[in-house]
Amino acid sequence: MRPLKITCWLNSPIAGDPPRLDALLEWVMSAKMRAVLESSNGDRHTTGMPKHRGQPVVPGAIPIPLARVRVDGYPHTIPLCSDPIMADTSNDGVEYFTRRFPSEMSGLLAPTERKTVTVDSGANKSYRLPLRIRLVDRIVWFCCGRDKIDTGRSAGTETRKLLRKVYSIGKKTSDGYGQVSRWDVELTDDDFSWFAPSHDGPVLMRTLPASTKFPDRLQGFKRSYGAPVAPYWMAENYTELLMPC
Amino acid sequence: MLIPSDRHTPADLRLWADYEEADRVYAESREPRLDRLQFESVEILRKWATGEGGFLGTSWGKDSVVLMHMAHVAGITTPRVWVRMRSRDNPDCEFVRDHFNCAFPCNYHERIFIYEECSRDQHWKSVANEFGNRRLTGLRMDESGRRAMSVRHLGIDTGVSCRPLAHWTSPDVFAWVATHDLPLHPAYAMLGGGRWPREHLRTHGVGGETCSNRGRREWETEYYSDILRRSANA
């Protein structure tokens, strides 16, 4: 296994939380997979009910160049990859995205064309939602690449090749947030993908199932509940967790 | 007295210390106003208690705590009822309950319902059947235009719902809690380092639809994501 340090250099603020690297790589790889392309007619941005809805999604089925390890008490393998680490945030603020049905324009309609529109629910529901905006110059992940990659390239090269297709990360990228200026993939001597050394004891670097055998004097974690593997939204993968804090 | 929680970040706690200091300054500078509000609320509660039946509904938010304190000051023995939703309760409410009931023992009850079965206020109907169809609530005019309109049109006591804190503002409530050392729900200090105004934070069940178009979901995802996922998986 090759320990890697992956840096994403940003040239615009990031909206929402940064993604986990394994999820990002799976997202890129999914564009190449026949099953995914067929389910969405070749377009990953389709709307409506996906064809695979209701079908079990097996975590780890999408091949990525990161090594995976099985831990006690959890059925799926977990990627050797840290959670995203953000450099010092120079500005941490909030912006709002809103929608409001223009009811004041109803006077422009002919009286026979006017009808009642619900704005408290449904397709025309008005909203004003906060979006966390952070100004950071880079986001870093520590991970371990696989020894054997099907393409014959090294894990670092393969990771760099996949990440080149990621032009933006976070939410509201179409509004210009989270624009990526450069991806750096570096080889490192030590593996900090799950734990990093400190004076007080090992620091947790990745969200892991609580059933994992953790080293003594573990630092920097809190208990939570959720999925420790991608897809992180899938409720079937939820379990008790320890997450970095 | 803010109840500590491991969900607070260091930035939250620094900001809360400033808020608490400001609350004490506010209470000192507005002492006559707070005394008048207390007198008014206690009078309303005593008058309401002369009627038959009814209960005081609590959610263990800041308004509920002040209302429970007012009820204690007024010396009324009305049942205090916390209507809970199974698997959706804010877990920190129990800490507020324990602190408050330890300091101010009262005639306290809890009733648990299933959220999905209460879309038509079945929970309130059930509680009203048991305790009577009159209730004291911590509703305030300051909270929204709709609530202010309700008090202006229907008065403080509608016959069903009585709102003794109707004229209190958010700063009044926070100042009262700070100066009387009442237990305060940890959610009010979950401020995202200043991104979330504390006046708009709520303590009721996690994952509901109310205010979902105003960022409630985003705040819950930031601070109570584990509870949200548990309720989704329940």
pLDDT at A40: 56
Q: Give dist(CA A60, CA A78) in Å, integer.
A: 8
> What value does the mean pLDDT take over residues A5-18?
94
pLDDT at A55: 60
Specify if B1 maps to a domain: no
| Residue A143 · residue A66 · CB < 8 Å | yes
| Residue B59 · residue B177 · CB < 8 Å | no
Q: Is the pLDDT of residue A47 over 50?
A: no
pLDDT at A117: 86
Specify if B226 maps to a domain: yes
Residue A55 makes CB contacts below 8 A (sequence gap 6+) with none
Report yes or no: B192 at the A interface, CB cutoff 8 Å. Answer: yes
Give per-residue pLDDT as tens, B7-33: 999 999 999 999 999 999 999 999 999
Residue with tokens 């916390």: B82
| Residue B34 · residue B172 · CB < 8 Å | yes
Instruction: Say yes or no for a CB contact (<8 Å) between A128 and B218.
Output: no
Instruction: Say yes or no for a CB contact (<8 Å) between A127 and B232.
Output: no
Assigned token pair, A90:
């120079």
Distance from CA of A160 to the nearest CA of B (A): 31
More confident residue, A101 or B214: A101
- Residues of chain A above pLDDT 90, percent: 44
- Residues of chain B above pLDDT 90, percent: 61
Assigned token pair, B114:
């299933």
Specify if B39 maps to a domain: yes
pLDDT at B67: 95
pLDDT at A29: 86
Residue B198: how many CB atoms within 10 A of its CB?
A: 17
When mean pLDDT is compared across A8-12, A50-54, A134-138, A225-229, the lowest value belongs to A50-54
Q: Is the pLDDT of residue A54 over 70?
A: no
Instruction: Say yes or no for a CB contact (<8 Å) between A129 and B215.
Output: yes
Q: Is the pLDDT of residue A201 over 80?
A: yes
Q: Is the pLDDT of residue A30 over 60?
A: yes
Strand-pairing partners, residue A204, are A195
> What value does the mean pLDDT take over residues B74-85?
91
Residue A173 makes CB contacts below 8 A (sequence gap 6+) with A15, A167, A179
pLDDT at B13: 94
Assigned token pair, B206:
């996690």
Q: Is the pLDDT of residue A165 over 50?
A: yes
Assign A51 a pLDDT band (cuts: 50, 70, 90).
low
Q: Is the pLDDT of residue A46 over 50?
A: no
Instruction: Say yes or no for a CB contact (<8 Å) between A92 and B195.
Output: yes
Residue with tokens 């670097």: A205
pLDDT at B91: 87
Chain B residues with CB-CB distance to A241 below 8 A: 226
**Residue B150 sits in which domain range?**
10-233
Q: Is the pLDDT of residue A45 over 70?
A: no
> What value does the mean pLDDT take over residues B155-159?
91
Distance from CA of B233 to the nearest CA of A (A): 6
Assigned token pair, B221:
């995802």
**Nearest CB to B213: which of A94, A127, A223?**
A127
pLDDT at A87: 80
Instruction: Say yes or no for a CB contact (<8 Å) between B213 and A128.
Output: yes
Report yes or no: A97 at the B interface, CB cutoff 8 Å. Answer: no
More confident residue, A156 or A83: A83
Report yes or no: A225 at the B interface, CB cutoff 8 Å. Answer: yes
pLDDT, chain A, mean: 86
**Nearest CB to B195: which of A93, A235, A238?**
A93
Q: Give dist(CA A236, CA B31) in Å, integer.
A: 55
Distance from CA of B89 to the nearest CA of A (A): 16
In chain B, the N- to C-terminal Cα span, in Å, equals: 33
Strand ranges across the sheet with A138-145: A85-86, A138-145, A2-10, A180-187
Stretch (H or E) spanning B148: helix B145-154
When mean pLDDT is compared across A118-122, A147-151, A192-196, the lowest value belongs to A147-151
Q: What is the DSSP letter of A83?
A: P
Specify if B2 maps to a domain: no
Assigned token pair, A222:
């809190």
Q: Is the pLDDT of residue B132 over 80?
A: yes
Give per-residue pLDDT as tens, B190-229: 998 888 989 888 887 777 777 777 788 889 989 998 888 8
Assign A133 a pLDDT band (cuts: 50, 70, 90).
very high
Assign A58 a pLDDT band (cuts: 50, 70, 90).
confident
Strand-pairing partners, residue B205, are none
So where are chain A's domains? 2-88+136-196, 93-133
Give per-residue pLDDT as tens, B82-119: 998 877 788 899 999 999 999 999 999 999 888 778 77
Number of folded domains in chain B?
1
Specify if B70 maps to a domain: yes
Q: Is the pLDDT of residue A53 over 70?
A: no
Question: Could you tell me the sign of the dihedral formed by the alpha carbons of A190, A194, A199, A201, in that order?
Answer: negative
pTM of the model: 0.84
Give per-residue pLDDT as tens, A205-215: 999 999 888 88
CATH (domain of B54): 3.40.50.620
